[in-house]
A = this chain, B = another copy of it.
Amino acid sequence: MLIDKIKNRESGIILYGITPPKMGTNEERMREISAQQIQRIQAEKVDGLVIYDIQDEATRTSEERPFPFMETLDSFSYSEEYLTDLAIPKIIYRAVGKYTQNELEAFLKNASSEKHLSVFVGAASKAQDVNLSMEQAYKIKSQQENPLLLGGVTIPERHQKKGDEHIRVFNKIAQGCSFFVSQGVYDINASKNFLSEYYYYGLEHNIPLVPILFTLTPCGSVKTLQFMKWLGISIPKWLENELKHSQDILQKSLDYSEQSWRELKAFADEKGIPVGCNIESVAIRKEEVEASIELLRRVNL
């Protein structure tokens, strides 16, 4: 279903995003966590599950990371060993710099194109040591027979500085990407600027548009807010003030995220740009995870 929706360039795809449990979590706890995740997600209307592949982004910024970096279980192994009971397709993220050619090839052979999709993620910065570059990863993918659907990452905030995010997206489409997942959206203006340029460039060059899935992420504390900023999510000053001064930052962020989604959807619908969303929680606190589920429900209304 998700795969068809993407191939048909449909609007309204809804994903949910999780991070695998941290490395070293014992088997019993792992079963508990995954059972809870399955239960939560099964109850909702979701087209697919994004499983992130966390990489240490310390080279990207000199600022201290608000939450410590923790190695997590491999996203594909976690999906295969713990989440098979969840029937929806899994979108396995691959931070390609972490893998050797053999490793990436093995993943691309083993992932079932009916149950899985993948999103390749590049290095967090040029200073990061990588095994494989994005170019190499796309080449490896193109040499595989497995018709696994491939997606890319888009960062509308990057557009504000460089103005070429739509070109990056079209380049990735040319390299085989058939959908895109954005970084967390707190700056609608940046997303609208990107969508607008994406739309008019596609129109002018007669290139069909693929779905852009905007990531929405609740924010339940000032620390989460700092973490989102650390991750590179741009947050307008007024919104940062609203959140910081709010009696209920989590509820406020939910309201804002819902409203952002509706505004982006309306903007895209008017032009026929296929958009969808990917809802996640960057924090692992129970309240914030539950809020992400509430957001999923609101978006589905």
Which A residues fall within an 8 A CB radius of B?
Answer: 163, 187, 189, 192-193, 195-197, 199-200, 236-238, 241-242, 245, 267
Contact = CB atoms under 8 A, between A and B. Distances in A.
B197 A241 contact: yes
Contacts of A241: 196-197, 199-200
Contacts of A196: 237-238, 241-242
A242 B192 CA distance: 11
Count the copies.
Answer: 2
B200 A236 contact: no
B189 A245 contact: no
Contact of A237 (B193, B236, B242): B193
9 contacts: A163-B237, A189-B189, A189-B236, A196-B241, A196-B242, A197-B241, A200-B241, A200-B245, A238-B267
Contact of A236 (B163, B193, B238): B193
Nearest to A163: B237
A242 B196 CA distance: 8
Nearest to A188: B189
Given A189-B238, A193-B237, 18 more contacts: A163-B237, A187-B189, A189-B189, A189-B236, A192-B236, A192-B238, A193-B236, A195-B238, A196-B238, A196-B241, A196-B242, A197-B237, A197-B238, A197-B241, A199-B241, A200-B241, A200-B245, A238-B267
